[in-house]
């Protein structure tokens, strides 16, 4: 089974702090994604990566950056956390092969910025 793990289930940070959210997948997937999930808004794509050191902006990249130094690991960075970044953050991965479009999600990190 594909396993996507996220470093923390719950995280509380102060405004202005630098925050790192880590995601690791164990299935050698090329693609990795970071979403935030908010009630009534669904899942919104922040950034994705289709290869090591490659990254693309999603729909809401402002205030975030990402890092992918190894294929299995994709990090989301909040350079200076703000209260409007309080949310559930979900990491996902997927395989690049014909017909295989499924994204596998981690359990999420609930981040509270105070």
Partner 1 sequence: QQQVKQSPQSLIVQKGGISIINCAYENTAFDYFPWYQQFPGKGPALLIAIRPDVSEKKEGRFTISFNKSAKQFSLHIMDSQPGDSATYFCAASQISSGSARQLTFGSGTQLTVLP
In the complex, the residues that contact partner 1 under the rule CB under 8 A are 4, 30-31, 33, 35, 40-45, 48, 50-51, 54, 56, 58-59, 90, 92, 94, 96, 101-108
Nearer to partner 1, 36 or 113 (CB): 36
Nearer to partner 1, 27 or 96 (CB): 96
CA distance 33 to 70: 14
Beta strand spans in 1-114 (E): 4-6, 10-13, 19-25, 31-38, 42-51, 54-57, 64-70, 73-78, 87-94, 103-105, 109-113
What is the nearest approach in angstroms of partner 1 to the Cβ of residue 18?
25
DSSP letter, residue 97: B
What is the nearest approach in angstroms of partner 1 to the Cβ of residue 71?
13
Residue 22 near residue 6 (C-beta atoms within 8 A)? yes
What is the nearest approach in angstroms of partner 1 to the Cβ of residue 26?
15
> Hey, what are 2's tokens?
């594909």
Nearer to partner 1, 87 or 94 (CB): 94
Nearest Cα residue to 21 out of 79, 70, 71, 94: 79
What is the nearest approach in angstroms of partner 1 to the Cβ of residue 35?
8
Nearer to partner 1, 85 or 105 (CB): 105
């Amino acid at each position: 089974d594909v396993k996507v793990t996220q470093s923390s289930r719950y995280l509380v940070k102060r405004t202005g702090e630098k925050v790192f959210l880590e995601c690791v997948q164990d299935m050698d997937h090329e693609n990795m994604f970071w979403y935030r999930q908010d009630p009534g808004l669904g899942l919104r794509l922040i950034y994705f990566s289709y290869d090591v050191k490659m990254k693309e902006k999603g729909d809401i990249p402002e205030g975030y950056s990402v890092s992918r130094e190894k294929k299995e690991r994709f990090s989301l960075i909040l350079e200076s956390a703000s209260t409007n970044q309080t949310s559930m953050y979900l990491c996902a991965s997927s395989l690049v092969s014909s017909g295989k479009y499924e994204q596998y999600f981690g359990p999420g990190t609930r981040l509270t910025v105070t």
